[in-house]
Chain A
Amino acid sequence: MIKKIFIVILSIYSIQFFSNNSYTVEPNEILENQKQELRARNISKNIRCMICQNQSIDESNAPLAKDLRILIRNKIKDGKKDEEIYKFLTNRYGDFILLKPAFKFNTLALWLLPFIFAVIGIFIVFSHNKKSKKI
């Protein structure tokens, strides 16, 4: 009997340990409408917790993260669109609150430089290859 209980407890813990999609949404926060809840989760995953800055509010235990999760859900219930919710948050906390930076004029370098560097890299490799073949 004790062995069985032990196995059950162990398996529960191992599920928790191995599952990657850990989140901190508390049961009473979850919306009844599954579609709405999914939208809320998707938005929360892209919103930075301003207190623990490398976590999304979906993962963070900070009180402000909880407040924002509830606020997002209330806005969804009120029939607000995703863009409206993002705009509400960036108006208050700036673009920094978005974990995925917006494609804007001042983030152009951020988005385009990797491609430019890749092209330069390919060019260097090819030209180097040509030279070494000649020798």
Chain B
Amino acid sequence: MKKKLLIIPSILFLSILLTFFYLLIIERDPSAIPSNLLDKNIPKFETESLLRKERFISSKEFGNEIILVNFFATWCLPCRDEHIYIKRFSNEKGIRVIGINYKDNSKKTIQWLKNLGNPYSNVPIDKNGRIAIDWGVYGIPETFIVSSKGIIKYRHIGPVTEKIYKKINLLIKEIE
């Protein structure tokens, strides 16, 4: 009986080893933080718009169709990398994209959009980063899918890559 019990520690050790190995090989980002806003209404905000004279009022813009919200800035290099995918969302897929301009210079942003193309239907300005805090944003670029009812369905932190682009498209189809 006692000898049989001695096997238990080695089995325990082996199972711990296997768990750690499993956590090592699966694809996960331990520093990624789940959004607290998932399945919740978007935070309401009102601010100036970069390209239009009238103010941006969130309750007027959201709630009719699926919208991608993309936090971006000209000083953020990954934003430039993902720009091609943001353009594909609006040009190829016909999805409305709202680009929140985070702590940026308006003149530079207008030039940036002229050079790289403008995928955004509207560009609200977040001058002091206060809107981003309401969205729980901590590292731009960040992209959110907002359902036609104005509910946040998905959040991606970091630049959109080919893989994320496909994932977002799938998710949008599911939501529709």
Q: Interface of A with B (CB < 8 Å)?
A: 50-51, 53, 63-64, 67-68, 71, 90-94, 96
Contact = CB atoms under 8 A, between A and B. Distances in A.
A67 B137 CA distance: 12
**Residues of B in contact with A, size category:** 10 to 19
A92 B36 contact: yes
B161 interface: no
B132 to A, nearest CB: 8
Interface of B: 31, 33-37, 43, 103, 128-130, 133-136, 138-139
Contacts, number: 38
B120 to A, nearest CB: 23
A8 to B, nearest CB: 39
A93 B34 contact: no
A96 B43 CA distance: 20
Contact of A64 (B34, B35, B43, B129): B129
30 contacts: A50-B33, A50-B138, A50-B139, A51-B139, A53-B31, A63-B103, A63-B129, A64-B129, A64-B133, A64-B138, A67-B129, A67-B133, A68-B133, A71-B130, A71-B133, A90-B36, A91-B36, A92-B37, A92-B43, A92-B134, A92-B135, A92-B136, A93-B36, A93-B136, A94-B33, A94-B34, A94-B35, A94-B36, A96-B33, A96-B34
A102 B136 CA distance: 19
Contacts of A68: 133
Which of B33, B103, B130, B135 has the largest count of A CB atoms less than 10 A from its CB?
B33
Nearest to A66: B129
A64 B35 CA distance: 17
A135 to B, nearest CB: 15
A51 B135 CA distance: 15
Given A90-B36, A93-B36, A67 B128 contact: yes
